[in-house]
């Protein structure tokens, strides 16, 4: 059996990503991917047994890429606010650069796929852990008072997914800074905030 070429596998994934970015999952056929990659169907199926296998490989690659992008964005951030802004900005940038991801993730989640989705669960857990650590760092530095950061972090990450899905590019200027500012103003408990009409208890 001929050895598979990592370069050709990457080419196939890049072509598939472009097609998934332009069309819904169910609209993209393996014939389309083979044709766009300039390959015979037999070659394509030697690398990926079916479309499910291919898109799970795409998600696996993207999971690694997102964590690398987030880590690279953190490299120059020197304080907790800058770290939050860098993390939010990195997530927005990565999904904007890979517009097929939300559709593929939604497809996989709807089918309750296993395998590569475990990698995405690891990414999500790492994102929650990293943001929680940043909020803890800010609290220790006296920048804010968020004593139980995990729930606010989940709200922030869920909000980012909503921004990506329902607010398409081009993004407003300094969007990451604006999101972090609004998030911190809502999560900060250093000042008492009374909701009008709410009962104390």
| 122 vs 59: CA distance, rounded Å | 12
- Predicted pLDDT at 114: 54
Whole-model pTM?
A: 0.83
| CA 131 from centre of chain | 14
Amino acid 126: pLDDT? 95
Mean local confidence (pLDDT), 35-60: 91
Higher pLDDT, 163 or 201: 163
Alpha carbon distance 94, 139 (integer Å): 28
The domains of the chain are located at 1-49, 64-187
- Tell me the pLDDT tens digit for each residue of 185-201: 876 666 554 444 433 43
**pLDDT for the residue numbered 197:** 44
- Section 50-55 average pLDDT: 88
Do 49 and 131 touch, CB atoms closer than 8 A?
Answer: no
Average pLDDT in the chain: 87
- DSSP class of residue 201? -
Which of 92, 122, 124, 120 lies closest to 104 in space, CA to CA?
120
Are 61 and 98 in contact by the 8 Å Cβ rule? The answer is no
Mean per-residue pLDDT, 48-54: 90
In sequence order, the 6+-apart residues with CB closer than 8 A to the CB of 116 are 56, 57, 59, 60, 63, 108
The pLDDT, as a whole number, for residue 95 is 94
Predicted pLDDT of residue 111:
67
CATH topology of domain 1-49: Arc Repressor Mutant, subunit A (1.10.10)
- In this structure, of 67-76, 112-121, 127-136, the range with the lowest mean pLDDT score is 112-121
CATH classification code of 64-187: 1.10.357.10
How many Cβ atoms are within 10 Å of 118's Cβ, its own excluded?
12
């Amino acid at each position: 059996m001929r050895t598979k070429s990592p370069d050709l596998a990457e080419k196939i994934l890049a072509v598939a990503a472009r097609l998934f970015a332009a069309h819904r999952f169910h609209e993209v056929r393996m014939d389309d991917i083979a044709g766009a990659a300039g390959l015979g169907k037999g070659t394509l199926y030697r690398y990926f047994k079916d479309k499910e296998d291919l898109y799970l490989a795409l998600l696996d690659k993207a999971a690694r890429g997102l964590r690398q992008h987030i880590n690279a964005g953190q490299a120059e951030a020197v304080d907790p606010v800058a770290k939050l802004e860098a993390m939010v900005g990195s997530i927005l940038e990565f999904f904007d650069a890979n517009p097929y991801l939300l559709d593929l993730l939604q497809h996989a989640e709807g089918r309750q796929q296993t395998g590569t989705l475990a990698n995405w669960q690891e990414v999500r857990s790492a994102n929650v852990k990293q943001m929680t650590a940043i909020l803890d760092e800010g609290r220790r530095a006296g920048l804010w008072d968020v004593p139980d950061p995990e729930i606010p972090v989940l709200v922030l990450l869920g909000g980012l997914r909503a921004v990506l899905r329902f607010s398409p590019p081009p993004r407003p200027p300094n969007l990451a800074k604006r999101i972090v500012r609004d998030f911190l103003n809502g999560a900060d408990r250093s000042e008492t905030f009374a909701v009008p009409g709410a009962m104390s208890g």
